[in-house]
Amino acid sequence: MLMALAAAGAYGTNIVSAQIAGQAGLNGPLLVFYRVFIMLALVGAAVTIWRAPLVVPHGERRAMLLFGVTSALVGSAYLSSVAFLPVTVAAVVFFTYPVLIVLAEPFVTRLPFRPERLAAAFAAFIGVAMVVGPEMHGLDPRGLALALCASLAAATQFFAGAALSRTALSARLFWSHLLILPVTALILAITGGFLPPDAFALAPIAAAVTIGGYLVGFLFQVIALTRISPGAAGLAFCAEPVCAVLIAALVLGERLAPLQYAGCALVVATLVINVTLEQMRRSPAPA
């Protein structure tokens, strides 16, 4: 659970720095391509040095393929949706995925349906909506479809990642990014926004934080997904927009409205209650 929360925090930092980098001329697809390329290069070097295993058990190969494809779709569809929607609306539509995970969990896994987790998912979603404060104008159907596609892909990604319990961490990172890289390269080719690496000099700190936030976030996310249930992980990731808004307030000087503070408090309270319930459920019964 702590790794899932750390991943959410890293992704939240990533959003703010990506915004700064975008204002300097480094577009989203370009950052996505380079962060995937760097992750693949780092994992490849680690595998070579430490001779880490890359074998995916036969029973988990389909889940590995699904995890890689959905990981590519999440970032690509979400970033593309903001070209047609306000960022706040895209964020609210995208963060329906924790609710989708909780609803689908009893059907996809053997875990029983838990009404309290569904209530927590809805409470966290309401808190996220309060935090980002959606503006209900300029609702382009293309943007809504892309944001919803990103939400569905994220929910599927969590289930696929949880199914890779017997696959080594090195294999999960390597093969998923080997699948993600062609998708991001294709999107970058279509958008025509490719720039050489020296373009990062336009905003070196923001670019480094964006790429570093993704590397840390994805690593912790992959580790967390095989240690806790998809529903618990999905709820933990509701902390991502809260972290993004708070960091934007600190770094960019953006002012938060009372409603946003209330939304942050609701999300944090929901996460604390959910973590407490998970710990109580895992605690052994007294003799």
- Residue 133 DSSP symbol: -
Report pLDDT digits (tens) over 44-68: 999 999 999 999 999 999 999 999 9
pTM for the model: 0.89
Closest CA to 274 of 122, 78, 97: 122
Q: What is the pLDDT of residues 14-43, one digit of tens each?
A: 878 888 888 888 888 888 899 999 999 999
Write down the pLDDT at residue 190: 84
The pLDDT tens digits of the residues spanning 155-176 come to 999 999 999 999 999 999 999 9
Contact 240, 125 (CB under 8 A): no
What crossing angle do the helices spanning 141-162 and 61-81 adopt, rounded to 10°? 150
More confident residue, 153 or 86: 153
- Category of 138 on φ-ψ map: left (φ > 0), alpha (ψ -120 to 50) or beta: left
Residues 123, 267: Cα–Cα separation, whole Å: 7
Q: Tokens for 153, please give them.
A: 């892909």
Instruction: State the virtual CA torsion across 126, 128, 129, 131 in degrees, nearest 10.
Output: 120
The pLDDT tens digits of the residues spanning 208-259 come to: 999 999 999 999 999 999 999 899 899 999 999 888 888 888 887 878 888 8
Mapping DSSP to helix (H, G, I), strand (E, B) and coil, where does residue 234 land?
A: helix
Is residue 85 within 8 A of residue 143, CB to CB? The reply is yes
- Single-letter residue type at 158: F
